[in-house]
Amino acid sequence: MVSPARIFEQLSLFIKRRATKIIILNTSDLRAVPLSMRAVMDFVWDPSTYVDLPPAQAQQKFIQQWVVDRYGVGGELVDQIAELYQAYFATPYMNNVSLRHGEQFLSHQARDLAQGITTHVRLNHSAPLPTASAASNLQLVNDALPGLRAVQSASQALLPSIPVARQQFFQSHVLT
């Protein structure tokens, strides 16, 4: 899932250069990315809502509306759910301009590292161990875990407050 801030930042470049004739949106896995897809579609339908805002402020505005629309809640619960999304999108490896990794990065790095070590052991230590870049990427994983665990814990605590009709969506969109 790509953060709305990143989407708004990049699409603003097209709007400001008047490159607005066509957009192609890859929707290869719709279940996992309805928020990102909605951010793109809202922006290209009416960029005036977000184009002049700093990306972080545009993201906050979008997520607040997303929560109201998706969960049918109001008041403090809107802010609490929106904060979960904001905290998730604040994960350091997603915001490092030189990296720009997506949400699958952590699991891919952990899996690749585990496969490398398994291969090394299975081949009687004749296969090379994972490289320094794997170790560096593992550090990114390690750095992200406390924040992601906090988001997961806060999400679990908030689940009973979500309207029953939207709990399954919350479970699949926020808790997985």
Low-confidence ranges of the chain (pLDDT < 70): 28-32, 95-109, 120, 127-135
Question: pLDDT digit string (tens) for 130-170?
Answer: 666 666 777 777 888 898 899 999 999 999 999 999 999 99
Angle between helices 132-158 and 105-122 in degrees, nearest 10: 130
Q: What is the pLDDT of residue 91?
A: 82
Q: What is the pLDDT of residue 150?
A: 93
Q: What is the pLDDT of residue 76?
A: 95
* CA-to-CA dists, residue 74 to 4, 42, 59, 79, 82, angstroms: 21, 21, 18, 8, 11
pTM for the predicted model, two decimal places: 0.74
Q: What is the pLDDT of residue 46?
A: 92
